Amino acid sequence: MSEKQPLIPFKPKRNKFSSKWVEFYVTRQLELSTLVLCLMGLAYYFEVPYSKYLFEIQAELPDGRYVKDILDCWYVLFWTVFFIMFRAFFTEKVFEPLGLHYGIKDDLTLLKFKEQSLLVLYYCLSWGLGFYIYTKVDYFFDFEAIWRGYPNKIYLPLFKKYFLGQMGFWASQFYFIQIEFKRKDHFMMCVHHVITFTLLVTGYYFNYSAFGHVILLLMDLPDIFLSLAKSLKYIGFKLICDIIFVIFFIIWIVNRHFLFGYLLYSVAVHPLNYRDIEWNPAEGVYFTRPIQIFFLIVMGGLELLLILWFKMILKVVISVINGANADDIRSDDEEEEEEEVVVVDEKSETNDVKERVPSPKGSPKTELKQE
């Protein structure tokens, strides 16, 4: 009997040709993303046209600060590829050995442990940097100051790198959700990622970056504790998991319903207290009723998603109160069709698909056939 081969999440395409290429990429994300980054680095070293835009922020002012520029898209592209490599490296080289060290034997549980541990790492770095920047700005713990200081069209170098890096991360997240195991809230997660990326891009373009900065801080902090609780659950630290989950529950309510709700109210009420309706691109002012309504609709859609997730969280809280352990609020079952996983023979030079095993509906884990 041969050793069990690694389980690779894969969403089949419509024809065998496209499936083969998708499988090839999914199983070699670390190598391919590293190769692309190396090619970018070589292009930068040899001063290939446009390559410097991948590594350097543009549109510097004489005083050392920056404004936005269409060339910022190249910088976002670099961070998108970087975060694909970042995720592949840490999940394969750091968190997979860690999960095996703590005795995780089920492939699907190991996959989820790697994903959540990676998110703990990222959100700690992201929120830490974002909060450090937050302590240096004039809207520190003052939502109304966001509107007093509008338009936010001049940035310190660190802020611009942080904000564009966040765009790159969320672009990579939308890619990852398309290749991970499909959960029941797959559609909700896709909508969430689209809304988040839309808020970042439009906020940056219309000079509401301070507004986007605050949203990122409110959203990142609860995710640290949620992903940490999940990771601890997967490696068997049930009691600590429950404690972290309670902390997460409190922070979720404060950040994502109270503070974010107040920010939504601020968007609706406060801007008109500090400036008139005006459309003046030459001065970087994009404050009109349609734009205000657009942000209210998008943020309202995000809050609706948060309320739906909060209902799931309440079920977990009730189960913990009744003596059970905190469980994953996302299901690994797929409602509409069976998930397909790919078992890859890593020893094969062609890396062809060795075997496909459908994951039965309602099954909490995927069993792999062995020869």
Rg from Cα positions in the chain: 22
Helical spans, DSSP H, in the chain:
16-26, 29-45, 52-55, 72-89, 96-101, 107-134, 143-148, 157-177, 186-205, 209-234, 238-252, 260-269, 271-274, 289-321
Which contacts qualify for 95-103: CB closer than 8 Å, 24 or more apart?
A: 99/234, 99/235, 102/235, 102/236, 103/235, 103/236
> Buried b vs exposed e over 281-310: b needs ≥16 C-beta within 10 Å?
eeeebbbeeebeeebeebbeebbebbeebb
Residue 322 has pLDDT above 80, yes or no: no
Could you give the 3-state DSSP secondary structure of residue 11?
Answer: coil
Q: Would you state the pLDDT for residue 276?
A: 87
Tokens of 46: 């040899």
What does the pLDDT look like over 240-272, one tens digit per residue?
998 999 999 999 999 999 999 999 999 999 998
Contact 344, 27 (CB under 8 A): yes
Span of 8-22, 245-259, 304-318 with lowest mean pLDDT = 8-22
Burial of residue 119 (CB within 10 Å: 0-12, 13-18, 19+) is buried
Distance between CA atoms of residues 325 and 17, nearest Å: 44
Q: Among the listed ranges 57-61, 275-279, 320-324, 345-349, which one has the minimum average pLDDT value?
A: 345-349
Contact 296, 267 (CB under 8 A): yes
CA distances, 58 to each of 19, 135, 270 (Å): 39, 24, 32
CA atoms within 13 A on the CB side of 269: 8
Cα–Cα distance measured from residue 270 to residue 182, given in angstroms and rounded to the nearest whole number:
40
Q: What is the pLDDT of residues 168-203, one digit of tens each?
A: 999 999 888 887 767 777 888 899 999 999 999 999
